[in-house]
Structure 1
């Protein structure tokens, strides 16, 4: 990409950006373009079936590169790994976020609920846009959303296991790149843009506050020893991440199963007990290694522990589930300026209650998390809502898709935004704690 083509772009162009695949930094003018003509196949990084990537010398009047066959091109690519780069990364800084958890922890369902709800909550409540930066790269997550929340409006029970397939260590969520004799498999992120809308309180800072969100999802098996290497750097994005999200399913812990006993709201079949702290400990070890942290040094970026399947254990927190943690607030300088503010105090109160439960059943999770990060928050969620039943034919948990109603699914992400990007999500003023 040359200075000629850049002159037609908005004045807010970044001087440098970061590839969401290989995490190399480069100036926008170094970006490659993807050839459009069908004869221009065969890229030395991506293989014979992929369109060639090239540094252009000719452009259309609108600033699009022209390939060797005279066709205008539309897709950009990283100069290092040659994988596709969304145009939003030329104007909006990347915000790296990583989500990880043990197999069957409910991570994929949580992701589907998160993005499905964010598409409504961010624009309608917080006056911020939330959109796919690259629909092709987000295709699998969009399919998750459709399968769980909009694919079937009937009242028949559908086993949860049939709605979303397990996250794999290879396949649609990974891209293979050749560097000479070395082949590297990179995780494919989900990409979104987040920006203040015109009616946002900080609309004038839209470019400054806007971000291209790069959300990484890893299979639990990726955290087994030896799974991360130069050829498969599948979890190295975690050292770049501004917020880490660890998905923990407390119902997989035998001690937790004994605690909920007959108090579970839903009669569910026995769940095989599985240790999940090795996943967290291995993730912590990798972040320390790739971020250059010593064993005694705490990570200064937030760690959010997402506690799934809250519909089965909400009674353990001692009261009814809390409402959404945002409240109406009024500007101190303009009485007519009424807006929604995120109530971090309500989230932190829930966090303390959830932490107390974990100390009884899974203290090693609390210990590992708090020995690693300065800022640890525990947030209970249910991805599909409160009406989970048992399918009589399969004996597995099932829902009626028309009754799916996520609870607090957006809260971990919104809470992370308040920490990583102050100003985009207004926060309520903390209430002073009463002295004892």
Structure 2
């Protein structure tokens, strides 16, 4: 049985305007396209011969699915502008754009994989929020990274870190090409996660208000070289749409910071960081310049969205921060407190996070003041967070000089905190935080 209807997918609730996570076009739900299913309909004029046709349907099944030209029911949606697929949660939940960027070899991909793996373990059990792949296909590469680090079949063997996760590239699995006539545009492919409050959450009844599809973009450091971002390769333009920016900085790659590290070895006397040195402040400066341009900010105007400076490889420099914060505590900054309703809930220990940020900034000011200046001249809210993607298990292989670890020994430090803090700041009610008197906000 078929029915004629408007081209809006049958869902519990539809947004009045949908934002494409690929090209950032905003359009009404009735304009959304469907992806054909029948094999005869292979080949899309914008995506090439290997992709199924996109179409605006006129016939639907009773269940609300579109019917293609060969009579097959269809299930996948696509953007009317770029024709790339859009997961169904994006027509029901508001998007939350988040961008991660940093210099090559800063540990960004390790941090990202460790963060999402830990969020899967933490969000539901601690904060009463679901955290699911909105599109498993688009998240496949990240899922592979997670498995390599935390579900490795050789977990008890010492493996080179470089073999666990490959570096982010400017083309390949993280990009999609679209033809607009004679112009081919390569869009960065985001990782997509659906988040909404579960039963028992303080605001479980407000799922439509505070539920989100998080669109997480991972940029290769090379994308910030002059001339890399252009009409045909808008590699970093999503950053102007992002509610939060995470700048990943590896302090062990900075020669000035290394001089302040008075103890550079782990318990076995082996250097626990790479010998590579590199300048990283140009990445932050170039990112700030592009965001100003795309967001139409004046040079004297600050970006009114949080910038989180994520300092990686904390296991190699924790001895610098611990004395300043007055503790050597590797626990997560979570506390069980009483919410407004009287219910006991987990909340972010925001005073502790701010204390760590204050003293991390102090360390940076003494060794890398240009990083602090670039960050604070750009954003009106900057917070500095130490993280370690794998914990205190990295060591230098004596035979080949490469960094290595046993995956079974991975014990990440604070990798979820930048993400959780972002949601706490930008989506009131989703992730509670502690106020001065230890109440959950």
TM range (shorter): over 0.9
Deviation at 1:228? 0.4
The equivalent residue for 1:216 is: 217
Q: Say if 1:2 and 1:56, in contact at 8 Å, map to a contact too.
A: no
Secondary structure of the residue aligned to 1:62 is coil
Q: TM-score, normalised by structure 1?
A: 0.96
In 2, Cα distance between the equivalents of 1:386 and 1:293?
41
Q: Say if 1:175 and 1:188, in contact at 8 Å, map to a contact too.
A: yes
Q: Say if 2:302 and 2:379, in contact at 8 Å, map to a contact too.
A: yes
The equivalent residue for 1:156 is: 157
Secondary structure of the residue aligned to 1:262 is coil
The equivalent residue for 2:239 is: 238
Q: Say if 1:18 and 1:94, in contact at 8 Å, map to a contact too.
A: yes
The equivalent residue for 1:339 is: 345
In 2, Cα distance between the equivalents of 1:160 and 1:323?
24
Q: Say if 1:236 and 1:287, in contact at 8 Å, map to a contact too.
A: yes
Deviation at 1:269? 6.0
Residue in structure 1 matching 2:303, options 279, 284, 299: 299
Q: Say if 2:196 and 2:207, in contact at 8 Å, map to a contact too.
A: yes
The equivalent residue for 2:275 is: 271
C-alpha distance after superposition, 1:366-403 (max 9, x if no partner): 00000110100000000011111222332211111111
In 2, Cα distance between the equivalents of 1:7 and 1:177?
24
**Alignment of 1:170 onto 2:171:** yes
The equivalent residue for 1:382 is: 388
Secondary structure of the residue aligned to 1:341 is strand
Aligned residues: 429
The equivalent residue for 2:115 is: 114
The equivalent residue for 2:18 is: 17
Gapped regions of structure 2 (runs ≥ 5): none
Q: Say if 1:113 and 1:383, in contact at 8 Å, map to a contact too.
A: yes
The equivalent residue for 1:52 is: 53
The equivalent residue for 2:185 is: 184
C-alpha distance after superposition, 1:8-47 (max 9, x if no partner): 421x211111000000000111000001111111111101
In 1, Cα distance between the equivalents of 2:23 and 2:200?
36
In 1, Cα distance between the equivalents of 2:242 and 2:185?
21
Deviation at 1:422? 1.1
Q: Say if 2:6 and 2:58, in contact at 8 Å, map to a contact too.
A: no
In 2, Cα distance between the equivalents of 1:264 and 1:370?
32
Residue in structure 1 matching 2:359, options 353, 367, 371: 353
**Alignment of 1:369 onto 2:404:** no
Q: Say if 1:102 and 1:248, in contact at 8 Å, map to a contact too.
A: yes
Deviation at 1:272? 1.9
In 1, Cα distance between the equivalents of 2:436 and 2:307?
21
C-alpha distance after superposition, 1:382-434 (max 9, x if no partner): 001111122233221111111111110000000111111110001111259xx
In 1, Cα distance between the equivalents of 2:125 and 2:11?
30
Secondary structure of the residue aligned to 2:216 is strand
